[in-house]
Amino acid sequence: MVGYLLKERVGDIPAFLDAVRRVAAGGTALDREVVAELVGERRAAPESPIDALSPREREVLSLMAEGRSNAGIAHQLWITEGTVEKHVHSILTKLRLPATEDDQRRVLAVITFLDAR
């Protein structure tokens, strides 16, 4: 027996009494807006890995996609190369691109960025 109605629905006496009767009989009564919200969440598009990045990390990744070096990114954003390196490390971590001998992680990060657009 489960029942959940929004406050607005309690004012609709016939609907409220119907819900109480269903729950009392062992059934369920869930507000249609709650159900719509739950179903909507499941149908939502999967979150893009890019969504995990901060706005600054997205800027850095965008400049990486333009083929810029760390020095070029630093110059463009008026930050130090060390700061760019920290952002790149964070991007690679958030995109779950571990260091391997077989992959160019910067290239994979750019591909992920372009796929999300």
Write the single-letter amino acid at 80. Answer: T
User: Is residue 106 domain-shared with residue 57, that is, in the same domain?
Assistant: yes
Output the DSSP codes for 11-74. Answer: T-HHHHHHHHHHHHTT-EEE-HHHHHHHHHHHHSPPPPGGGGS-HHHHHHHHHHHTT--HHHHH
Q: Residue 38: its pLDDT value, please?
A: 56
User: Is residue 11 domain-shared with residue 31, that is, in the same domain?
Assistant: yes
Q: State the residue for tokens 């109605």.
A: 5
Number of domains in the chain: 2
User: Domain limits at 71?
Assistant: 49-116
Q: Residue 46: its pLDDT value, please?
A: 57
User: Is residue 60 domain-shared with residue 36, that is, in the same domain?
Assistant: no
Q: What is the CA radius of gyration of the chain?
A: 25
Residue 74 CB neighbours (<10 A): 20
Q: Residue 13: its pLDDT value, please?
A: 82
| Cβ(2)–Cβ(28) below 8 Å | yes
Q: Residue 34: its pLDDT value, please?
A: 62
User: Is residue 38 domain-shared with residue 77, that is, in the same domain?
Assistant: no
Q: Residue 106: its pLDDT value, please?
A: 93
**What's the CATH code of the domain at 71?**
1.10.10.10
Q: Residue 52: its pLDDT value, please?
A: 92
Q: State the residue for tokens 């390196």.
A: 85
User: Is residue 73 domain-shared with residue 59, that is, in the same domain?
Assistant: yes
User: Is residue 106 domain-shared with residue 53, that is, in the same domain?
Assistant: yes
User: Is residue 74 domain-shared with residue 24, that is, in the same domain?
Assistant: no
Q: Residue 93: its pLDDT value, please?
A: 96
Q: Residue 39: its pLDDT value, please?
A: 53
User: Is residue 111 domain-shared with residue 57, that is, in the same domain?
Assistant: yes
User: Is residue 62 domain-shared with residue 110, that is, in the same domain?
Assistant: yes
Write the single-letter amino acid at 51. Answer: D
Read off the tokens for 39: 């179903």
Element (H, E) at 114: helix 105-116
Torsions phi, psi for 3 (to 5 deg): -145, 135
User: Is residue 29 domain-shared with residue 58, that is, in the same domain?
Assistant: no
User: Is residue 99 domain-shared with residue 75, that is, in the same domain?
Assistant: yes
pLDDT, averaged in runs of 10, over the chain (117 residues): 69 78 76 61 64 94 91 94 97 93 91 84
User: Is residue 16 domain-shared with residue 59, that is, in the same domain?
Assistant: no
Query: Which pTM value belongs to this model?
Result: 0.61
